[in-house]
Amino acid sequence: MSTRTITIEVLRYRPEQDQEPFFQSYTVPCDEDWVVLDALNYIKDELDRTLSYRWSCHMFVCGSCGIVVDGEPKLGCKAFVKDYGDKIRVEPLGNFPIERDLVVVIDDFIEKLESVNPYLIPKEEKSIDDGEYLQTPAQLKAFKQYSMCINCLLCYSACPQYGLDPSFVGPAALALAHRYNMDSRDVGRKAREDVVASHEGIWECSFVGACSQVCPKDVDPAGAIQQTKITSAIDYVTSFLPGGNR
Amino acid sequence: MSRKPYVRQMSKTSWFLTHSRYKHYILHEVTCIFIAIYAVILIFGLFRLGQGPEAWQGWLDGLRSPLGVIFQILAFGFAMIHTWSWFKVVPQAMRIQRGESFVPGNLIIGAHYGVLAIISLFVLILAGVA
Amino acid sequence: MARSSKAIPWLLFAGGGTVTAFILPVMILITGLFALFGVFSGALSYETMQAFVGNWLIKIILFGILFLTLWHAAHRLRVVAHDFGIRADTGVAIVVYGLAAVGTVATVIALLSV
Ligand code: SF4
């Protein structure tokens, strides 16, 4: 297998000694079928044990290796070095504080995710003995795309509205809220609506669409948010009509 | 060990120049400036129409002035950018499910262009041209 | 968190965006072609336009187009201001929606004057 020598420029930040991040270059002999994550692993194993980054599955499932490669949010395990030049710039995800090197602080996202009640809220609780909540394939299809999210946060990194105003609930959390709202077994839309349809929720989104362009799982958070806007706006208006429930 | 997370700030006034997809976004957002001005010109025209033949002729002369022509060329360009960018995202905002599959996005977009052609033709006929 | 009243201007924005996408190019084409080459000079003559706008159905359609166009542009201007770094969102909202409201009233007066 042929190898190519690539310069990997990594944005480093070591909180105990650095005032601000800086780029450090490593020369890495990359196999042609490597992904950027392989190059980072090579650096860690062979060149510099102090480099910090997150990863786990190496197969687009765990969502932990989100980084910015040449200015584009990517999963480290899905960014093939053959698609890049002889110099690759690797940075931590944008719009999140840097904890260390490529590791970012994602507490804010976790809070937002919790705030939208991202779980099934059934009409009535059933015991396991009563069997499953049944659903047709068509009903499954209605929300399936939005359930593919792996919480990798590439979408938050790409979203300028989140960068400009961190109080924005953001793409993945709102897409997940939509995923449950669209589920035929779920009746929790009202419970989610106070967060989802707040100023910081869907209405902070101006449909830049960047989230959907970078999403590695084709979740299309931007579409989910626009669909939510339509139903929420109609809800809001009809709540003023006689018989509308507020 | 004490933590010291580093926060990077993005420019609040020039962030949209940092990536091509943000440039596309801001380009279709600013179409509203030209659309707003054009609407004001039309409303002004209606006023002039109510004020008699000379006033109306004055408004038409305004349209034909160099400034009027340049503005309308620009406005037409931006209106097309608006139309194009608006139709492009309709399938995301409005999914149409038929059984277990969705109507293909390109079909929805194509239908919009079809309607655009029909409406345009109709208006042109109404204006006595086509 | 409370549900946001942005729902209402957004509906006008979305409706206006759709209407302008369909109708504005051909309208600008007509006034612009007239301006450039004088075609349509008959169609845009004072008598024809008087009769045209004099029709109630046309008045209502023109009002619908202009009303939605104004509110579409106003709401998007609010977003543009935010994107250009102007953070006084409430002030911006009052100005742009205020202008759209003035424009709406002006449209009604203008249409009734024909
Ligand atoms: S929506 Fe897509 S980009 Fe965003 S966190 Fe989920 S998988 Fe990642």
The yes-or-no verdict on residue A97 having pLDDT over 80 is yes
Asked, for residue B114, whether it belongs to a domain, the answer is yes
Asked, for residue C11, whether it belongs to a domain, the answer is no
Same domain, C30 and C75: no
Q: Are A174 and A221 in contact (CB under 8 A)?
A: yes
Q: Pick left, alpha or beta for residue B65 (phi over 0 → left; psi -120 to 50 → alpha; otherwise beta).
A: beta
Same domain, B38 and B72: yes
Same domain, B70 and B19: yes
Asked, for residue B1, whether it belongs to a domain, the answer is no
Same domain, C98 and C60: yes
Same domain, C62 and C94: yes
Percent of residues in chain A assigned helix, strand, coil, to nearest 5: 40, 15, 45
Q: Which of B79, B104, B122 is the last residue of a domain?
A: B79
Helix (H, G, I), strand (E, B) or coil at B18: coil
Name the pLDDT band for A194 (thresholds 50, 70, 90).
very high
Number of domains in chain B: 2
pLDDT for A195 equals 96
Mean pLDDT over residues B115-124, rounded? 96
Pocket probe mutation, ligand 1, options A144, A217, A218, A220, max atoms within 8 Å of Cβ: A217
The residue among A89, A103, A92, A61 whose CA lies nearest residue A216 is A61
Q: Compute the mean pLDDT over every residue in chain A, rounded to the nearest whole number.
A: 96
Q: Are B120 and C26 in contact (CB under 8 A)?
A: yes
Asked, for residue C10, whether it belongs to a domain, the answer is no
The yes-or-no verdict on residue A246 having pLDDT over 70 is no
Same domain, B74 and B103: no
Asked, for residue C4, whether it belongs to a domain, the answer is no
Distance A178 CA to ligand 1 centre (A): 13
| Residue B75's CATH number | 1.20.1300.10
Asked, for residue B86, whether it belongs to a domain, the answer is no
The yes-or-no verdict on residue A219 having pLDDT over 80 is yes
Same domain, B21 and B75: yes
pLDDT for B129 equals 66
Number of A–B residue contacts, CB under 8 Å? 73
Mean pLDDT over residues A68-72, rounded? 98
Asked, for residue C8, whether it belongs to a domain, the answer is no
DSSP character string of B36-100: HHHHHHHHHHHHHHHT-HHHHHHHHHHHHSHHHHHHHHHHHHHHHHHHHHHHHHHHHHS--EETT
Name the pLDDT band for B4 (thresholds 50, 70, 90).
very high
Range(s) of the domain holding residue B46 = 15-79
Q: For chain B, what percent of residues have pLDDT higher than 70?
A: 98
The yes-or-no verdict on residue A66 having pLDDT over 70 is yes
Same domain, B19 and B73: yes
Asked, for residue B54, whether it belongs to a domain, the answer is yes
Asked, for residue B8, whether it belongs to a domain, the answer is no
Name the pLDDT band for B64 (thresholds 50, 70, 90).
very high
Q: Which domains are present in chain A?
A: 3-104 (3.10.20.30), 107-238 (1.10.1060.10)
Q: What is the ipTM of this complex?
A: 0.95
Same domain, B72 and B98: no
* pLDDT tens for the 114 residues of chain C, in order: 688 899 999 999 999 999 999 999 999 999 998 888 887 777 889 999 999 999 999 999 999 999 999 999 999 999 999 999 998 999 999 999 999 999 999 999 999 998
Nearest to C53 among B46, B72, B115 (CB): B46
The yes-or-no verdict on residue B128 having pLDDT over 80 is no
Asked, for residue C9, whether it belongs to a domain, the answer is no
The yes-or-no verdict on residue A41 having pLDDT over 70 is yes
Mean pLDDT over residues B70-75, rounded? 96
Residue with tokens 């990798």: A152
pLDDT for C2 equals 80
Asked, for residue B75, whether it belongs to a domain, the answer is yes
pLDDT for C87 equals 87
Mean pLDDT over residues A64-85, rounded? 98
Nearest to A237 among C11, C14, C83 (CB): C11
Same domain, C64 and C39: no
Same domain, C40 and C62: no
Same domain, B75 and B19: yes
Pocket probe mutation, ligand 1, options A110, A145, A151, A169, max atoms within 8 Å of Cβ: A151
The yes-or-no verdict on residue A240 having pLDDT over 90 is no
Q: Compute the mean pLDDT over every residue in chain B, rounded to the nearest whole number.
A: 95
Same domain, C58 and C112: yes
Helix (H, G, I), strand (E, B) or coil at A74: strand
Asked, for residue C72, whether it belongs to a domain, the answer is yes
Higher pLDDT, B107 or A245: B107
B3: chain A residues, CB-CB within 8 Å = 15, 99
The residue nearest atom 7 of ligand 1, judged by CA position, is A149
Asked, for residue B87, whether it belongs to a domain, the answer is no
Range(s) of the domain holding residue C25 = 20-44
- Summarize pLDDT for B10-48 with one digit per residue, the tens: 999 999 999 999 999 999 999 999 999 999 999 999 999
Same domain, B25 and B52: yes
Q: Is the CB of A152 under 6 A from ligand 1?
A: yes
Same domain, B75 and B100: no
Number of domains in chain C: 2
Nearest to A236 among C1, C3, C82 (CB): C3
Q: Are A197 and A132 in contact (CB under 8 A)?
A: no
- Summarize pLDDT for A170-184 with one digit per residue, the tens: 999 999 999 999 999
Mean pLDDT over residues B99-112, rounded? 97
Angle, CA of B90, A211 and A214, to the nearest 5°: 110
The yes-or-no verdict on residue A187 having pLDDT over 60 is yes
Q: Is the CB of A73 under 6 A from ligand 1?
A: no
Name the pLDDT band for A186 (thresholds 50, 70, 90).
very high
Q: What is the DSSP letter of A96?
A: S
Name the pLDDT band for B130 (thresholds 50, 70, 90).
low
Mean pLDDT over residues A76-82, rounded? 97
Residue A27: exposed, middle, or buried by beta-carbon count in 10 A (0-12, 13-18, 19+)? exposed
Q: In angstroms, rounded to a whole number, what is the distance separating the alpha carbons of residues B86 and B83?
A: 5
B111, closest residue in chain C (CA to CA): C22
Asked, for residue B4, whether it belongs to a domain, the answer is no
